[in-house]
Amino acid sequence: MTTTFTDRRGARQALGLILIGSTGIQLSSAFAAGLFDSLGPLSVSSLRMAIAAVILCLLFRPSLRGRSRSQWTSITVYGLAMAAMNLCLYSAIDRIPLGVAVTLEFLGPCAVAFLASRKIREGLCALAAFAGVLLISGPGGHFSAVGYAFGLGAAAFFALYTVFAEKVGKDDTGLSGLALSVAVAAVVSAPFGVGSVGEVSGRQWMVLAVAAAVGVAIPYAVDTIAARVSSARVVGTLFSVDPVVGSLVGLFVLREHIGGLAVAGILVVAAAGAAVVWVSEPTAESLPEEPRIDAAAASRT
């Protein structure tokens, strides 16, 4: 009973953290949208990632020493996934409607949640969340094979991001591993933004700095913590809140209309999120260990 409660508490914490991160991402996207016409979405993504890397490295001052090969592999793959996920998503948005692109991207964490589910009811939560996202995105938009390819690419890298958020989060007691991963993402993304540095005005640098803090540094930090306190299968389903928050930001900030299907989708995703928290089973890490007594432990009592 205690282990089940502990796991559900982790899922509740993960939900709150992901809501914070998703809100930051969607608000910063609305805030930085004005830069796309002058700098291009890929340049904005690249420069924003570079600023976020500086912010996180200054905050957590990650050490390059004392890490195993396995930890460095997780840090590197996490960073590569961040960079590729963002670049693919923005390339998809250039060619297909935003709702379709976000729906395709969510296939990644949805697949992680479904494949990692250990019981039928957990898998059904993931499928219900995906159904809700389909309702939110709605039909419409022209078909673009290249756009869909980029959208599916974003999904694949979002799946990697989901898995390695857990690995990096649980390998590191702090967030220094995340800071290094974002630095990797910034280096990989640099070729797409370095040519635009001379064209950025002082005001645009301020917008990019805010977007980096609110839309990258904070969301990626809370995603990593969420994966630490729960698991990839839980956060994979909870990432379905992204299109929900995006729709609400569109309604209240950008004054965009939300149709009846989108409202139904929001309710379905909310129900799926609540369900995945309720049905969360105890993980191996939450199982009680046999009590051990050693000299170091005795000295602290």
* Average pLDDT of every residue of the chain: 80
Q: Which residue has the tokens 């796991």?
A: 7
Q: 47 pLDDT exceeds 90?
A: yes
Q: Which residue has the tokens 């004005």?
A: 34
pLDDT at 1: 39
pTM for the model: 0.78
Q: 159 pLDDT exceeds 80?
A: yes
Q: What is the pLDDT of residues 228-251, one digit of tens each?
A: 888 887 888 788 787 777 777 767
Q: What is the pLDDT of residues 118-152, one digit of tens each?
A: 678 777 887 888 888 778 766 655 567 888 889 88
pLDDT at 252: 79
Residues whose CB is less than 8 angstroms from the CB of residue 268 and which lie 6 or more positions away in sequence, other chains included: 128, 129, 131, 132, 135
Residue scoring higher pLDDT (9 or 73): 73
Distances (CA, A) of 106 to 39, 124, 130, 147, 245: 27, 16, 8, 15, 14
Q: Which residue has the tokens 């570079």?
A: 50
Domain assignments of the chain as residue spans, ordered by start: 2-286
pLDDT at 296: 34
Q: 280 pLDDT exceeds 70?
A: no
Q: 294 pLDDT exceeds 90?
A: no
| Alpha-carbon gap, residue 38 to 245, rounded angstroms | 26
